[in-house]
Amino acid sequence: MRIVIPDDYQRVVQQLDCFSLLEGFDVCVYHDAVSDPDVLAERFADADALVLTRERTHIDAALLARLPKLKLISQTGRAGPHLNLEACRERGVIVAEGTGSPIAAAELTWALILNARRQLREAMNGLYAGHWQVNLGQRLYGQTLGIWGYGKIGQRLARYARAFDMRVLVWGSEASRQAAIADGYEAASTREAFFEQADVLTLHLRLLPATRHCVSAADLSRMKPDALLVNTSRAELIAPGALLDALDRGRPGQAALDVFEQEPILQADHPLLTHPRILCTPHLGYVEKHSYEAYFGEAFANVREFAQG
C-alpha cells in the first residue's frame, strides 16, 4: 500500500513517535507547498492513500478524477472546505476524519493576546537593537474579552480570561450564548454591542458558507480605537481587505493573526507582515508536538485499520 503525505513544511512528520505506525508501508513524504493540480496529480498518481495535514492540500473533483488508484484520504483533524466530500463519495474514496484538540490553539491565542497587548515584539526588538523600554503596553485586568464562537476553544479562553480578571462577552449562535450564560459569562445583547464593547475580540468559528466573510467592514468600524482583534481560526472569516482598511482608519487599533488567505506566506514584504499594528505568527495554532502526535497518530491509525480490512 502506497501512502503519500504532502505539505510537511517543517520536515517533522517522520520524526514523530507515531510515524512508526506506518512501518511496513511504502510512504512518500513531500516537504514543499504545491498547489499546481498537474504537479499534485503526478505526485499522487500511485497513491492508495493520502494523509493530509489539516487544510493545506486542496482536493477537488478534477484532481480526484486523475487519481484512479486512490482509495483513502486520512485527514488530520476534521475535513474542511479544502476537501470535496461529495466528489470523494462519488468516486468511492473513503475519508477518515480525526478529532483534534483545542488546547494548543487556545494557548497560542492567549500568547498572541498577551504579546500584542503588552507589545512584547516591539519591546524585545528594541532591547536587541540596544534600546531600553521603548514603548508602553496594556494589562488585561479589567478589560473585556469578546469571544465569537463558544466552542471548545472559546470555552477554554473564557476560563483563561476569568483567571486574568477579565470580563467575558460572548457572541455567536443562540446555543453558544445560552451556554456562555450557563457557565457564568455574559452574552452580548446584539452583534453591534459585541463589537463596540470588546477590548480584545477573538474569533473561533469554523469556515462554512454561513461564516465566510462574516466579519464586515461595518463590524470593525464599531470597535474601540485601542481594541485588539485576534484571528487564529480562519482568515476568510473576515471580508477581503476589510482588516487592513479598518486598521488604517483607526478602528481597531491592533490585530494579531495566525491565519492567512494564502499559506504559506514566504514574502517578507507582505502587507500584513509589514503593517506596524499587526502581530503575525505562521499558523502555529495546532503546530505543536503533542498536537501533532495526536493528529497524525489518529490519521496513521486510520490508515492501518483501512489496510487491515
Residue 46 has pLDDT above 90, yes or no: yes
CA atoms within a 13 Å half-sphere pointing along the CA-CB vector of 285: 24
Domain with CATH 3.40.50.720 in the chain: 2-100+288-308, 102-280
Mean pLDDT of 25-46: 97
Residue 66 has pLDDT above 90, yes or no: yes
* Predicted local distance difference test score (pLDDT) of residue 142: 98
Name the residues annotated as catalytic: 234, 263, 283
pTM, to two decimals: 0.94
Measured distance CA(267)–CA(136) in Å, rounded? 29
Residue 87 has pLDDT above 90, yes or no: yes
Instruction: Yes or no: say if 272 and 244 are a contact pair by the CB < 8 Å rule.
Output: yes
Measured distance CA(309)–CA(303) in Å, rounded? 10
* Predicted local distance difference test score (pLDDT) of residue 309: 80
Q: How far is CA 42 from the centre of its chain?
A: 29
Mean pLDDT of 33-38: 95
* Predicted local distance difference test score (pLDDT) of residue 100: 84
Q: How confident is the model at residue 156 (pLDDT cuts 50, 70, 90)?
A: very high
Strands of the sheet containing 2-5, edge to edge, are: 26-29, 2-5, 49-52, 72-75, 94-96
Residue 98 has pLDDT above 90, yes or no: yes
Tens digits of per-residue pLDDT, 108-136?
999 999 999 999 999 999 999 999 999 99
Share of the chain above pLDDT 70, in %: 100
Instruction: Yes or no: say if 202 and 145 are a contact pair by the CB < 8 Å rule.
Output: yes
CATH architecture group of domain 102-280: 3-Layer(aba) Sandwich (3.40)
| Ramachandran quadrant class, 92 (left: phi over 0; alpha: psi -120 to 50; beta: rest) | left
CATH number of 2-100+288-308: 3.40.50.720
* Predicted local distance difference test score (pLDDT) of residue 30: 98
Measured distance CA(73)–CA(62) in Å, rounded? 16
Q: Which three cell numbers stand for residue 155?
A: 470555552
Q: What are phi and psi of 207, to 5 degrees?
A: -85, 110
Q: Which three cell numbers stand for residue 256?
A: 494579531
